Structure 1
């Protein structure tokens, strides 16, 4: 049953005379507390927060002196008390509330400064179960929510980054805070506790192997507001979840203008793809355009890999994203800088490479200090009207699969290496996906078509265009292998690949017409391997 409102109007300005401070992140705490005390604000605090303030020579009252009750149970119980929550929740212009506060000696709090136990940090650092549980804050969220609900009289601050704004507002309003300011702080506070609780709920689901919890929440912290979304009329922002997966969320931007929504999306796609290639085995480069690869290659060096990747589709590479599986060196930087590129992302960069890229002031260079693990578990989410589609990350890796040769001819050692390469790439190409590879480099990619035959034909045509641009007599698909992200429903898709020059095929298998497709492969003398795993990407 809903609780009725008494419709008591909130005052525009509330003077800040008494503040409650209890923070885990003590960044800027002492300076902020000192400024409040200088303005005549009475400070009440808890545990380590009180000690930090007192050690700085600032007068502070421990919350146990207010409640008359000591902290107990290793600090689990210290603020869950009527003298605290009554001071947070009391509606001062309500006669009944005012009488209760007077009767029980409850003094109001005008300002509450809380940030929570570092649950997210402990969780994503792989803390033990007991340690993670101990970092679930109880009193903090309770006080935050209480103060936020009663923002008519109380200002709640959950982010040290807002300390300067609070002090500025106090200066502008001669020691008071406005209703508009209190509302904004309350909204931010509720968003913070929502994301915090979401992180806890999702951790529990992972810890208990609950694949589909009855309630699913996703939360994140604002990293930046982008200029616009996919199109200029759309608003967009980037939020980080705290997951310690190397990539766009954890990268350090060495230089270049602000990343756009599309830049972030495409850069993520590029880095996840290039991470499929072990940097200890060889250098690898992926060039991405509109979240699809237009060239991927391995090489003896990053420069070699880049030039091979670029040759696959030099037209589409213009204005693309370049991802590397090894630290950017000067030799590769010089080559990449010759082509207009939006973003370079790599696990590192040499000083010489950074100096070369610096000459392109708008080119963004991102350094991640690592590669994402393609085998790691995780979740992906997509919004639909009225809901969320949530699934586990596609962490299938071709090197871990039991490949089955289904044709009379088995692939050669060189063909098998290229088949695995092609299937790694196909995993990151929008469905329907067809990928031609020769000698450790893509030579034709068909993406996102309604028909798999069309994807095959487009890939072959792109290979022909690239051959013409390079002055070659034959397209790269001649003598190549081909990968399909899902099974061939009919033999026509396979025949199209054979006509383009493919000598071996890798595909999941599982079609009702597998026998027909296998027979067609045998009739053309090509090798075919089934993976038993598909990689649809929509």
Structure 2
């Protein structure tokens, strides 16, 4: 039957239940197989065509491709940031898109603070905060560290960002660009795509559409 014919399908997952039943699940396959599959963002709204003004650089395209495929395997709603082929932040499992962006930023800031705490004091940021609370280390030590993290924008400047679903509003772009994100990949298809494109143009950021959502629950 059909199950037998799909037996060699690597995207088919089969699991059994306690009562002898079977659960069949097909993994989603991304239609983005190379950077050439990205489409420069464009949206027609009330008879006016809105286009992104800046195309991604070759380096940004490579990072967007990596970010998109990581995003396809992260629990929705998901945001992935990448710079120089290295993941800089992941926001996952949120109920709203901008919430996933803010979570990714928060995690990046915490990770950078943790890195600096270890480099300077050979302890985690949690241990450093505890030592300050106990009066074992000057409070200025911690405030100086956090100031450096803010100045460095959590190490996110120059990153690109992929989203597994479209941006319903421009807030995710504005928030990310405030930390130095330079390019975005997302499915497109929102009613306010023209506003998202406008936000990217204001920030001189690149935006490409994938024309496919990659939700994972």
TM-score using structure 2 length? 0.70
Residue aligned with 2:108, SS: helix
1:361-402 per-position Cα deviation (integer Å, ceiling 9, x unaligned): xxxxxxxxxxxxxxx44246798xxx9774422122532572
Which of the residues 375, 383, 403 maps onto 2:38? 403
Show the 5 A alignment for 1:253-402. 376-379=10-13, 390-396=24-30, 398-400=32-34, 402=37
TM-score using structure 1 length? 0.29
Length, aligned pairs only: 169
- Corresponding position of 2:88: 443
- Corresponding position of 1:154: none
Show the 5 A alignment for 1:77-476. 202-204=3-5, 206=6, 376-379=10-13, 390-396=24-30, 398-400=32-34, 402-406=37-41, 407-471=52-116, 473=149, 474=152, 475-476=154-155
Residue 478 of structure 1: how far off its partner (Å): 1.1
- Corresponding position of 2:46: none
Residue aligned with 2:4, SS: helix
The yes-or-no answer on 1:503 pairing with 2:137 is no
Residue aligned with 1:411, SS: coil
Q: Give the whole-Å Cα distance in 1 for the aligned partners of 2:212 and 2:104.
A: 22
The structure-2 alpha-carbon separation of the partners of 1:418 and 1:380, relative to structure 1 and needing over 3 Å to count, comes to: farther
- Corresponding position of 1:165: none
Structure with bigger RCO (C-alpha 8 Å, 6+ apart): 2
The yes-or-no answer on 1:514 pairing with 2:149 is no
Residue aligned with 2:208, SS: strand
- Corresponding position of 1:491: 170
- Contact persistence 1:444–1:476 (CA under 8 A): no
Q: Give the whole-Å Cα distance in 1 for the aligned partners of 2:99 and 2:174.
A: 12
The structure-2 alpha-carbon separation of the partners of 1:389 and 1:203, relative to structure 1 and needing over 3 Å to count, comes to: closer
Unaligned runs of 5+ in 2: 42-51, 117-147
Structure with the greater alpha carbon radius of gyration: 1
Residue 512 of structure 1: how far off its partner (Å): 1.1
1:33-68 per-position Cα deviation (integer Å, ceiling 9, x unaligned): xxxxxxxxxxxxxxxxxxxxxxxxxxxxxxxxxxxx
Q: Give the whole-Å Cα distance in 1 for the aligned partners of 2:208 and 2:181.
A: 13
Q: Give the whole-Å Cα distance in 1 for the aligned partners of 2:163 and 2:111.
A: 21
